[in-house]
Structure 1
Amino acid sequence: MPKKIVTGSRQMCVEDRRYSKKGYQRGVSLVELMVGIAIGLMVVAVAGGVLMVSRGLTGTVSDVSQIQQQAAYALRAIGQQVRQSGSLYLDLNPENETNTDIDRYAIPVAFETRAGTGNFGFDPKTDSIRGTATTLNVGYSRYAETLFFKENASDPDAQSQSRDCLGGPSDAAANSIYRRLQSNFSFSAIGGSNDLVCTGTTIPAQTQPIVTNVANFQIRYLLQGKSGSDAGSTTIRYANTGDSGFSWAKVTGVEVCLVLYGTERMDLLTGDISSYTDCDGTTRVDMSSAASTDMNGVAIGTSRAGRLHMVFRNTYQLRSQGLIGSVL
Structure 2
Amino acid sequence: MKPGRFLYSQSLRSSAQRGITLIELMVGITIGLLTVAVAMGALVVSRGASGTISDATQMQQQAAYAFRLIGQQLRQAGSIRLNLAATQAAPTTISPQEVVAFETSFDKANSTVTGLDSPTATQFKFSVAYQNYQEATFPSSTQASLFRNCLGEQGTATVVQSQFAMRSGTLFCAGTGAAQPVIRNVQDFQVWYFLQANADVGNPTIQRVNAAGVGTNWARVFAVEVCLDLFGDETVDIPAASTYQDCSNNAVSFNKRLHMVFRNTYQIRSQGTAG
CA displacement, residues 87-121 of structure 1 (integer Å, 9 cap, x when unaligned): 11111211118898x87333232222x22xxxxxx
The count of aligned residue pairs is 269
* Corresponding position of 1:280: 248
* Corresponding position of 2:58: 66
| Aligned AA (2:229) | V
TM-score (norm 2): 0.88
TM-score (norm 1): 0.75
Distance across 1 between alignment mates of 2:64 and 2:202: 33
* Corresponding position of 1:109: 100
Give the Å deviation of 1:232.
Answer: 7.3
Distance across 2 between alignment mates of 1:232 and 1:162: 35
Greater strand share, 1 or 2? Answer: 2
Distance across 2 between alignment mates of 1:246 and 1:179: 23
Q: Answer yes or no: is the 8 Å Cα contact 2:109–2:219 preserved in 1.
A: yes
Instruction: Tell me which structure has the larger Cα radius of gyration.
Output: 1
| Aligned AA (1:160) | S
Percent identical among aligned pairs is 44
Alignment of 1:90-169 (within 5 A): 90-96=82-88, 104-112=95-103, 114-115=104-105, 122-133=106-117, 135-149=125-139, 157-169=142-154
Distance across 2 between alignment mates of 1:139 and 1:94: 23
* Corresponding position of 1:180: 159
- Cα 1:111/1:259, change in 2 over 3 Å: same
- Cα 1:34/1:221, change in 2 over 3 Å: same
Q: Answer yes or no: is the 8 Å Cα contact 1:186–1:196 preserved in 2.
A: yes
Q: Answer yes or no: is the 8 Å Cα contact 1:225–1:231 preserved in 2.
A: no
SS of match in other structure, 1:106: coil
Structure 1 residues without counterparts, runs of 5 or longer: 116-121, 151-155, 170-174, 288-304
Off by >3 Å, runs of 4+ in structure 1: 16-20, 97-100, 229-233
Q: Supply the RMSD in Å over aligned alpha carbons.
A: 2.6
Give the Å deviation of 1:243.
Answer: 2.7
Q: Answer yes or no: is the 8 Å Cα contact 2:219–2:271 preserved in 1.
A: no
Distance across 2 between alignment mates of 1:24 and 1:46: 35
Q: Answer yes or no: is the 8 Å Cα contact 2:85–2:91 preserved in 1.
A: no
Give the Å deviation of 1:230.
Answer: 6.5
